[in-house]
Each structure stands twice: as structure tokens, then as C-alpha cells.
Amino acid sequence: MTTACYVRVSTEDQSLERQLEATHDYAQSRLDATLDAISTYRDKATGTDTNRSGFRELMEDVEADDIDSVVVHSVSRVSRSIRDLDQTVEQIVEEGEAELHIVSEGLELTGDDDPYQKAVLQLLGVFAELEAEMTRQRVKEGIRTRMENEDYHHGPAPLGFEKNDGHLIEAPNFDRVRTTLELVQNDELSKRKAARELDTSRRTINRALDRAELYRLDPER
């Protein structure tokens, strides 16, 4: 049996070690895989889509029937898009006839029509879509509130934004700013490194994190 461990981080500064340890330990303890039977696929890229070299190589090997089981640390390591997650599960489990093991969520998708596993996966999708919609609403409400505030009209534009006739619009680097702030919020990147990455100050990073709704981040984190 050949077991594939897929690990991914979003930036070059991040380490893959924790995911490597978790997935390899799982493969050996739960799947009885030996080290020489484990293939590791790595990516250092954002998870907003599946256009990643390590991921593509994994999918090609699954399609070629070279893989019996795929182990990932969490759903977010496969994709942050529910559509891509559904497609990935279909490619691995249904078309590739391989098992998919998601360590953090405790999911074992084997293609055996397990109603519990299907329900859990569907719930993950529902919660993800609900969270995305709530985030969109927070963004709209936050921007509307700031547009009614004089400081919003006359002060400098926040990090990642530009002003057009007193209204905030996303700057060309908005996606890069948002991804960096999300890494800081998740304790995956220090504020010092984030400031250096975005060519700004830690004070500006702190100010941006205080405006979480502008960047579609979870304000409770």
C-alpha cells in the first residue's frame, strides 16, 4: 500500500515540520504504513485554489492508481474553497478509489458510503459557506459605518486600500495584504515579518488587525 502525505503552507517563511510530523505519525500509527511506503508532496503557496505543483503531482499519481491513501493535516490544507474541496474528494475517493484521511477533523473517507462521514463533510461545507457569508456581511457593515464617519473620508486610506472620491476601494496589493494579516492572526507569521513583507510598520499592522472586518478576517481572533 502506498500512502501519500500532502502538506502545505502559505509562505516561504513558514515551516512544514508540524504537518509533516502529524501526517507521517498518522500514516504509520493508523494505516500501518512504513517509511519507505510513504510519499510526501509539498507546497508553499496559498490555498485559495488547487493550482499548486505538489498538489497537481499528487492528483496525477492518484489518477494513475499509484496511491492507496492520502493523508492531510486539515481540510484547509487541501483547499479553502468548498467547491475545490468537493472536487478533490471526488477525484481522490470516487475516481481514484483511494482513501482520504483528514487528521485534525478525524475524517476517513473511504468510498464505502458511510452516512456519518458524508454528514460530517456536508456540515463542514455548510459551516464554511455560512462563515463566508457572515464575513461578507461584516465587511459590508464595516465599510458602510466608516463611510459615514468623517475620519473615513478625510483620513489616510488603510493598508491595502485606496481612496476614490472619499470612498475606499481595494488597492492592487489587497489580496497580498489580506493573506499576510490572516497569517499574523493565525499566529503563523510575526508582526515584524509581516511589516517587512508589506514594507510598512508594526503599528500599521496592528491598526489593520483592529479593522478585521475590512479585510474579511474573523474579528474575534
**Predicted local distance difference test score (pLDDT) of residue 33:** 93
Rounded distance between C-alpha atoms, residue 10 and residue 43, angstroms: 8
Gap between the Cα atoms of 126 and 123, Å rounded: 5
Mean pLDDT of 22-46: 91
**∠ Cα 144 147 151 (to 5°):** 135
Q: Which of 27-31, 45-49, 71-75, 152-156 tops mean pLDDT?
A: 27-31
Mean pLDDT for 31-53 is: 80
- Does residue 152 carry a pLDDT above 80? no
**Interval 99-138: pLDDT, tens:** 999 998 888 888 776 677 767 766 766 666 666 566 566 6
Burial of 161 (0-12, 13-18, 19+ CB in 10 A): buried
Q: Do residues 173 and 197 touch, judged by C-beta distance below 8 A?
A: no
pLDDT in tens, 49-96: 556 889 999 999 999 999 999 999 988 787 766 677 778 888 998 899
Residue 140: the pLDDT is 62
Q: Does the pTM of the predicted model rise above 0.85? A: no
Q: Which residues contact 98 (CB under 8 A, 6 or more apart)?
A: 62, 67, 68, 69, 70, 92
Please report the domains of the chain, with CATH numbers, ordered by start residue: 3-114 (3.40.50.1390), 124-211 (no CATH)
pLDDT digits (tens, 9 = 90+) for 175-195: 899 999 999 998 889 999 999
